Chain A
Amino acid sequence: AQSVTQLGSHVSVSEGALVLLRCNYSSSVPPYLFWYVQYPNQGLQLLLKYTSAATLVKGINGFEAEFKKSETSFHLTKPSAHMSDAAEYFCAVSDGGGGFKTIFGAGTRLFVKA
């Protein structure tokens, strides 16, 4: 069975500071890993995905994530937070079988202070 744990339901950073959102996964097979973002009153938007190619994955809006198999982690980072980054972020895992049924973490809400 697969699972995802996001450490911290809320994270607060100052504008211009580093953003680090933590995600650990569990999977019995090589996983596909995702980060989705949900802005207020919108649907989830795919930020980036890991599909067993490069371990450092670059996404939209300056975000990136690094797949670390030894640590079973897929943390999301951005060097400098912007006010527009305030949203809820979801880490997710899929085994790729049967149409990529996806397991989501509980979400981390990012607050950005001026």
Chain B
Amino acid sequence: EAGVTQFPSHSVIEKGQTVTLRCDPISGHDNLYWYRRVMGKEIKFLLHFVKESKQDESGMPNNRFLAERTGGTYSTLKVQPAELEDSGVYFCASSHRGLVGYTFGSGTRLTVV
């Protein structure tokens, strides 16, 4: 089975621009998560979808971040406008309902300059 796919793998944008990250979870996985690792720090939870519904978005830093999950399939995370502190690696993960533990994508390394 195909794994969790994220793209782009790298993105370099200027402060104030908009960037959209995409995640394709494993087919059939209802749960989809976004996490972020800022350089040198812990991996932090951003939000959790169950199918197309946001289950928990308590980790979203502010309203410059918008996540969607179209039809319960792929998800996008938009940052608008980007700030320097948004730089980091954004991970997507998915899991089947009721199963413990995630399958992670390779991440998107975002650099805001």
Contacts and interface: CB of A to CB of B under 8 A. Distances in A.
Contact of B42 (A99, A100, A104): A104
A32 B91 contact: no
A106 interface: yes
B91 to A, nearest CB: 7
B101 interface: yes
B103 A46 contact: yes
A102 interface: yes
Contacts of B91: 43-44
A102 B45 contact: yes
Contacts of B31: 99-100
A81 B70 CA distance: 44
Interface residues of B, number: 26
Contacts of B41: 106
Contacts of A90: 43
Interface in B2-16: 3-4, 6
Contacts of A32: 100
Interface string A88-113: 00100010101111111111000000
B52 to A, nearest CB: 14
A98 B56 contact: yes
A45 B103 CA distance: 7
Given A99-B50, A103-B45, A43 B95 contact: no
A60 to B, nearest CB: 12
Given A98-B56, A106-B42, 14 more contacts: A32-B100, A43-B105, A44-B43, A44-B104, A46-B103, A49-B100, A98-B48, A99-B55, A100-B31, A100-B100, A101-B33, A101-B48, A101-B56, A104-B35
23 contacts: A32-B100, A41-B106, A42-B106, A43-B6, A43-B104, A43-B106, A44-B43, A45-B104, A46-B103, A94-B100, A96-B100, A98-B55, A99-B31, A100-B31, A100-B102, A102-B45, A102-B102, A104-B35, A104-B42, A104-B43, A104-B44, A105-B42, A106-B42
